């Protein structure tokens, strides 16, 4: 028999809860690990599992959460009356849905796409009304427990607060991840009650309800229990971040990235890294950053939403919204702000800040400079202490520096100003007028030397002390 092509399942992500245990003004699923909000991990897992329709239930802090789900449709659960009630809020949005509906918790960021696929496959192969993803936990405190009949078949899920004393020892738990037959789920949903310790409509009660109807319910175990961690507190948020960090780092190392100490490297899920990249300790690669083959990054570097080309080096620097060209070097202690483009082999050195500026091929800004709103040509040398005075208090102005120019140390470039090709500026000059190509621009009082002055002064001081 040929295996069925997995049909598109729908996914419903429950994300309306407040997350009281987080003690936060922010809704729980908006908390971040490795720079990405919890709910986004769940949306991405559902997508990569092949769910072709995704609906998110929002409620507490709905506006904030709705901005984080990458355009997926949301339904509002106005009153939070439990996980069963959250599913009821989506019944209109999903009306007429047939086939598999995966229900996921917005607070379970570690669940793998592969596991969602297994869950859907299990339901579609068996035709069950519901499949529950379970796991055995050493400490099951707080989780719903899996209650089985004498034949070992799934009979019910009992919430921690509703356990009888002889059920307390059950360590097999409900992960809060399910695959339902959508039609069966919605036709039985209205029969959920709220007679329990929390007065909530529990989605977990569907299991006993469906069993009582004589329908097939079953379960599969998660491959690893860490995958099912639900984040309810900041302690669990840190635990989840640790697991995600090592999962992502292992994938990169297996794909050819060297990490001196993977415990001290943090990479967001969306980051793309080439081969033979070396990541030194205390490196953060965040947002939509890409790092091409052969780069060395770190130690002590944070790169966000930036593109780093082949063979570039970034040492002890902060890079945001920038492009670093092939073989370019950055740092130590440089700050590249949005709109910075370093062309091939450009060099930005110690304590240099650059913003909204292109630095041409082979050009150097080696020490202690601020270059903002500028276009710098090829093979330019910018001396130590150079500053573009780009802001007059009201408007930003551009500085243009032609190919091969040499800007002397401590030049103030008062924008708008243009330094022509191959021109030179004298050290310490405040250049407020354009310097033509090939010219010297110098703005300085003439130096006066007073012969013997220093020697006489020292001698006078010595006589005073005697």
Catalytic residues: 367
Query: Binding to ligand UD1 by residue 203, rule CB under 6 A?
Result: yes
Structure tokens at 243: 């697991």
By CB under 5 A, how many residues form the interface with Ca ion?
A: 2
Which of Ca ion, ligand UD1, none does 86 bind, CB closer than 5 to 8 A by kind?
Answer: ligand UD1
Q: How many CB atoms lie within 10 A of CB 114?
A: 13
> Radius of gyration (Cα) for the chain, nearest Å?
31
Are 270 and 288 a contacting pair, CB within 8 Å?
yes
Name residue, tokens 């401590």. Answer: 410
d(CA 430, CA 443): 6
Query: Binding to ligand UD1 by residue 85, rule CB under 6 A?
Result: yes
Closest CB 342 distance from Ca ion, rounded Å: 45
d(CA 98, CA 456): 100
Which of Ca ion, ligand UD1, none does 36 bind, CB closer than 5 to 8 A by kind?
Answer: none
Residue 173 vs 429, nearer CB to ligand UD1: 173
Are 122 and 166 a contacting pair, CB within 8 Å?
no
d(CA 41, CA 207): 27
Q: How many CB atoms lie within 10 A of CB 332?
A: 15
Piece of the chain touching Ca ion by CB under 5 A; list 106-114, 266-274, 368-376, 434-442: 106-114
Residue 107 vs 315, nearer CB to ligand UD1: 107
Chosen residue from 107, 227, 280, 410 binding ligand UD1 by CB under 6 A: 107
Closest CB 61 distance from ligand UD1, rounded Å: 10
Closest CB 307 distance from Ca ion, rounded Å: 37
Residue 44 makes CB contacts below 8 A (sequence gap 6+) with 269
Query: Binding to ligand UD1 by residue 327, rule CB under 6 A?
Result: no
**Length of the chain, in residues:** 466
Helices 38-48 and 113-126 pack at an angle, to 10 degrees, of: 50
Closest CB 249 distance from Ca ion, rounded Å: 26
- Residue 192 CA, chain-centre distance (Å), reads 38
Q: How many CB atoms lie within 10 A of CB 403?
A: 17
Of 201, 217, 43, 204, give the one whose Cα is nearest residue 128.
Answer: 217
Piece of the chain touching Ca ion by CB under 5 A; list 103-111, 114-122, 320-328, 387-395: 103-111
Residue 22 vs 405, nearer CB to ligand UD1: 22
d(CA 14, CA 110): 15
Query: Binding to ligand UD1 by residue 159, rule CB under 6 A?
Result: yes
Output the CA angle 375-376-377, nearest 5 degrees: 120
Residue nearest to ligand UD1 (CB): 144
DSSP type of residue 59: B
Are 377 and 360 a contacting pair, CB within 8 Å?
yes
d(CA 360, CA 270): 29
Sites for Ca ion among residues 229-268 (CB under 5 A): 230
Residue 230 vs 360, nearer CB to Ca ion: 230
Are 21 and 114 a contacting pair, CB within 8 Å?
no
Exposed / middle / buried, residue 271 (Cβ in 10 Å: 0-12, 13-18, 19+): buried
Piece of the chain touching ligand UD1 by CB under 6 A; list 124-132, 202-210, 236-244, 325-333: 202-210
Query: Binding to ligand UD1 by residue 105, rule CB under 6 A?
Result: yes
Query: Binding to ligand UD1 by residue 16, rule CB under 6 A?
Result: yes
Residue 91 vs 232, nearer CB to ligand UD1: 232
Chosen residue from 45, 57, 292, 359 binding ligand UD1 by CB under 6 A: 57
Which of ligand UD1, Ca ion, none does 180 bind, CB closer than 5 to 8 A by kind?
Answer: none
Query: Binding to ligand UD1 by residue 115, rule CB under 6 A?
Result: no
DSSP type of residue 162: G
Are 405 and 424 a contacting pair, CB within 8 Å?
yes
Sites for ligand UD1 among residues 131-150 (CB under 6 A): 143-144
Closest CB 117 distance from ligand UD1, rounded Å: 20
Sites for ligand UD1 among residues 160-179 (CB under 6 A): 173-176
Sites for Ca ion among residues 178-237 (CB under 5 A): 230
Residue 178 vs 284, nearer CB to ligand UD1: 178
Query: Binding to ligand UD1 by residue 21, rule CB under 6 A?
Result: no
Binding site for Ca ion (CB under 5 A): 107, 230
Binding site for ligand UD1 (CB under 6 A): 14-17, 57, 59, 77, 80-83, 85-86, 105-107, 143-144, 157, 159, 173-176, 202-204, 230, 232
């Amino acid at each position: 028999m040929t295996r069925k092509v997995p049909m598109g399942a729908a996914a419903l992500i429950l994300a309306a809860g407040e997350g009281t245990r987080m003690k936060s003004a922010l809704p729980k699923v908006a908390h971040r690990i490795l720079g990405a909000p919890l709910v986004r991990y769940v949306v991405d897992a559902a997508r990569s599992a092949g769910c072709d329709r995704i609906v998110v239930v929002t409620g507490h802090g709905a506006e904030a959460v709705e901005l984080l789900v990458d355009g997926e449709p949301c339904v509002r659960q106005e009153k939070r009356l439990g996980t069963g009630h959250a599913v009821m809020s989506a019944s209109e949005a999903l009306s007429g849905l047939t086939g598999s509906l995966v229900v996921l918790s917005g607070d379970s960021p570690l669940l793998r796409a592969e596991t969602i696929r297994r869950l859907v496959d299990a339901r579609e192969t068996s035709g069950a009304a519901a499949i529950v993803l379970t796991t055995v936990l050493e400490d099951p405190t707080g989780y719903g427990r899996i209650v089985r009949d004498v034949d070992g078949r799934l009979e019910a899920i009992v919430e921690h607060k509703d356990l009888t004393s002889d059920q307390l020892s059950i360590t097999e738990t409900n992960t809060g991840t399910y695959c339902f037959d959508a039609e069966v789920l919605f036709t039985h949903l209205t029969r959920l009650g709220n007679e329990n310790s929390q007065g909530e409509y529990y989605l977990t009660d569907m299991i006993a309800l469906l069993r009582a109807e004589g329908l097939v319910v079953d379960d599969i175990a998660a491959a690893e229990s860490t995958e099912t961690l639900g984040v309810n507190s900041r302690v669990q948020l840190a635990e989840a971040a640790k697991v995600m960090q090592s999962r992502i780092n292992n994938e990169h190392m297996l794909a050819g990235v060297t990490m001196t100490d993977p415990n001290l490297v943090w990479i967001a899920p969306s980051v793309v890294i080439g081969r033979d990249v070396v990541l030194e300790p205390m490196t953060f690669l965040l947002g939509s950053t890409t790092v091409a083959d052969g780069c060395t990054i770190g130690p002590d570097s944070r790169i966000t939403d930036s593109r780093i080309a082949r063979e570039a080096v970034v040492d002890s620097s902060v890079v945001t919204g920038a492009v670093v060209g092939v073989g370019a070097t950055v740092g130590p202690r440089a700050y590249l702000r949005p709109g910075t483009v370093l062309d091939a082999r450009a060099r930005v050195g110690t304590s240099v800040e650059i913003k909204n500026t292109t630095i041409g091929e082979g050009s150097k800004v080696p020490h202690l400079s601020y270059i903002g709103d500028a276009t710098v040509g090829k093979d330019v040398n910018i001396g130590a202490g150079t500053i573009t005075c780009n802001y007059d208090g009201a408007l930003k102005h551009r500085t243009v520096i032609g190919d091969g120019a040499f800007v002397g140390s401590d030049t103030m470039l008062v924008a708008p100003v243009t330094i022509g090709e191959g021109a030179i500026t004298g050290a310490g000059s405040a250049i407020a007028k354009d310097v033509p190509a090939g010219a010297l621009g110098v703005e300085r009082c003439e130096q006066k030397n007073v012969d013997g002055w220093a020697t006489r002064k020292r001698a006078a001081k010595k006589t005073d002390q005697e």
